[in-house]
């Protein structure tokens, strides 16, 4: 139930205006030169492989077009919750994993995988080396121009987003306690067989509060970066791509591959950019995918 809520995407949602125009160079086509786009680092997250909502074809198109020194997979890559409920695994989802492995093996890309709440089963085994892919709970990225970014999925901050009012009264100690307690609470829920409480589902259902909840999430992440002496923070989780300064911290959310099809990139000078992949009139999603999603919702 939670998952379907998260993945429910109407055609109207897909056509909703985006906060930045498509980068001209980012329009995919079948004739695209493989490896045409080169970056120092790329962050992508929230593929939700194993669900009907995953836009695997577009993701494959993106992965084929991009070369980078470091690829960060910022959580919710494989959707273990969905796979527990029903085995949905088309060939394109295997192809996504293959494309990532190929980037590592054939192009020498360093791949760092930070698990999210949908693939949190990996968190029991950290740190882990998966066929050369480094799996860790969080990491710090140093940009080409010497800035430091904390890289986390972001689900640890769910509780403080919805309970921010009384936390503000209780202060910093309680705030830290809720963040730690949230991880503990959800680990217990998982062991008991309950799904993770989903912030993105919550946001979708509380339309009136959505902007406020997203704002609190962004501020909580920026505060964490500030507390740790970072210049910025990079996360995913809420399927809301964004790049903006918050209290002197650069907040970056790389979005997702269910709704927005976005990536965060760093060029060789250290310049960050949010990339919207193939959102254009000539690259509409195939109609069959839309009907599959309706059937899933
Ligand atoms: Mn998540």
C-alpha of residue 33 to centroid of ligand 1, in Å: 32
C-alpha of residue 126 to centroid of ligand 1, in Å: 18
C-alpha of residue 237 to centroid of ligand 1, in Å: 4
At residue 282, does pLDDT exceed 60?
no
C-alpha of residue 267 to centroid of ligand 1, in Å: 26
Q: What average pLDDT does the segment 260-274 reach?
A: 96
pLDDT at 288: 33
pLDDT at 167: 64
pLDDT for 147-194, tens place per residue?
999 999 999 888 777 666 666 666 667 667 777 777 777 777 777 776
C-alpha of residue 142 to centroid of ligand 1, in Å: 24
Q: What average pLDDT does the segment 191-215 reach?
A: 71
Measured between alpha carbons, how far is 61 from 29 in angstroms, rounded to an integer? Answer: 8
Burial of 34 (0-12, 13-18, 19+ CB in 10 A): exposed
Q: Does residue 213 or residue 293 have the better pLDDT?
A: 213
C-alpha of residue 60 to centroid of ligand 1, in Å: 21
C-alpha of residue 83 to centroid of ligand 1, in Å: 15
C-alpha of residue 177 to centroid of ligand 1, in Å: 20
Q: Confidence class of residue 201 from pLDDT cuts 50, 70 and 90?
A: low
C-alpha of residue 30 to centroid of ligand 1, in Å: 31
C-alpha of residue 15 to centroid of ligand 1, in Å: 23
pLDDT at 211: 80
C-alpha of residue 196 to centroid of ligand 1, in Å: 9
At residue 30, does pLDDT exceed 80?
no
CATH assignment, 2-296: 3.60.21.10
pLDDT at 71: 98
pLDDT for 106-126, tens place per residue?
999 999 999 999 998 899 899
């Amino acid at each position: 139930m939670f998952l379907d809520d998260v993945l429910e995407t109407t055609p109207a949602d897909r056509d909703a205006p985006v906060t930045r125009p498509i980068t001209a160079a980012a329009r995919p086509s079948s004739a695209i030169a493989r490896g045409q786009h080169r970056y120092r680092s790329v962050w992508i997250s929230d593929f939700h492989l194993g669900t009907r909502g995953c836009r695997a074809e577009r993701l494959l198109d993106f992965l084929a077009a991009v070369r980078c020194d470091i690829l960060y997979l910022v959580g919710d890559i494989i959707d273990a919750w969905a796979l527990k409920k029903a085995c949905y695994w088309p060939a394109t989802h295997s192809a996504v994993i293959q494309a990532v492995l190929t980037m590592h093996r054939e192009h020498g890309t360093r791949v760092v995988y930070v698990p999210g709440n949908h693939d949190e089963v990996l968190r029991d085994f950290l740190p882990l080396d998966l066929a050369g892919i480094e799996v860790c709970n969080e990491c710090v990225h140093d940009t080409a121009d010497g800035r430091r970014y904390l890289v986390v999925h972001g689900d640890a901050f769910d509780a403080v987003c919805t309970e921010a009012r009384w936390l503000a009264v209780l202060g910093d100690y309680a705030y830290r306690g809720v963040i730690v307690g949230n991880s503990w609470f959800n680990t217990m829920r998982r062991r008991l067989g309950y799904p993770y409480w989903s912030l993105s589902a919550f946001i979708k259902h509380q339309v009136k509060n959505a902007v406020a909840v997203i704002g609190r999430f962004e501020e909580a992440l920026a505060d964490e970066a500030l507390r740790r002496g970072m210049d910025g923070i990079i996360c995913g989780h809420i399927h809301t791509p964004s790049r903006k300064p918050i209290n002197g911290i650069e907040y970056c959310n790389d979005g997702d591959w269910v709704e927005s099809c976005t990536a965060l990139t760093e060029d060789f000078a250290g310049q960050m950019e949010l990339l919207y992949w193939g959102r254009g009139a000539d690259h509409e999603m195939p109609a069959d995918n839309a009907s599959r999603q309706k059937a899933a919702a």
